[in-house]
Amino acid sequence: MKKRVLITGGAGFIGSHLCARLLRENNDVLCVDNFYTGSRSNVAELAHQSAFELLRHDVSFPLYVEVDEIYNLACPASPVHYQRDPVQTTKTSVMGAINMLGLAKRLRIPVLQASTSEVYGDPDVHPQPEAYRGRVSITGPRACYDEGKRCAETLFFDYQRQHRLPIRVARIFNTYGPHMHPQDGRVVSNFIIQALTGEPITLYGDGSQTRSFCYVDDLVEGLVRLMAMDQGLEAPVNLGNPVEITIAELAHRIIDLCGSGSAIVYRPLPQDDPTQRCPDIGRAQNLLHWTPKVALDDGLKRTIAYFEALLAGPGGTVSPLLRAAS
């Protein structure tokens, strides 16, 4: 059955891929974004479709629309962006959740919250299962995002208990792919741009810290399956790739895939940066029958091709956005 789906943060990295996926499945899509980090270019190829509508709006203010489902993805997700205006980051997470939950309550429809692995902080349990309560600094520079997302989860489960609202909460681990913002400061985009432009690869710490990287198509598949669940959801669900890699190994892999001669330079590790991050995806496997399928090298090749095209720009000129990031 055709549905009208609201995606907040729909012009962002993950949101734009979700918009495209739901349009391919013959849904009407209302993409809402304030373009703080999202970009019209991410959804430019969708704009000609009659089933697609783009609305500029900040979710920290109420929104009055008629839809059948809500994916709440609105919030800057990289430290560079969410630390630029930390008060607004917290407002986006908390007020955005309240406003989307209020809309879902009025319409009696399912609403999905894009939470984050950052709710686990710098974990002392590895890999991280959903039952782990986290080790998060509530006063550090990352707290605006970490605690904002934790509060949003609280609101979602309180709305479920108090109003019997059909909710879904996805804890998203590191995701990468085309449409990543070239200036978001995240490790995959940073390394690729530096490798393609011949700049030194900036490695924070000694490179022994670990992450796991999920390609965006796999992540979107998990979100769609989570929304489609018939039964109620009693707990969050981790969505990420359980294959772990050190940041140093990632740097060398990207250098090789780009055919780059970039050297590696070391910088101090940022405050509260986690030393390990890897999901336990047992719940997603059992509930959603979901496991990531795209191997890291394959996903990196697709992402490198995207940034190569950005670097070339129209007519072979260097994209201003990418030039500023290099």
Determine the Cα–Cα distance for residues 305 and 225; give it in Å rounded to an integer.
28
Nearest-5° Cα angle at 155, 150 to 221: 70
Q: Which one from 82, 145, 159, 176 is the annotated catalytic residue?
A: 145
Number of other residues whose CB lies within 10 A of the CB of residue 286 = 10
Which amino acid is it at 120? Y
Are the CB atoms for 179 and 220 separated by under 8 Å?
Answer: no
Q: Are 226 and 219 in contact (CB under 8 A)?
A: no
Query: Per the structure block, which two tokens stand in for 178?
Result: 């085309």
> Torsion angle, CA of 315/321/325/326, rounded to 10 degrees?
10
The question of whether 145 is a catalytic residue gets the answer yes
Left if phi > 0, otherwise alpha if psi is -120 to 50, otherwise beta: which for 7? beta
Q: Which residues of 57-94 are buried (b: 16+ CB within 10 A; e: fewer)?
A: bbbbeebeeebebbbbbbbbbbbebbbeeeebbbbbbb
Strand duo 201-204 + 175-176: pairing: unpaired
Chain mean position to CA 2: 26
Which amino acids are annotated catalytic? 145
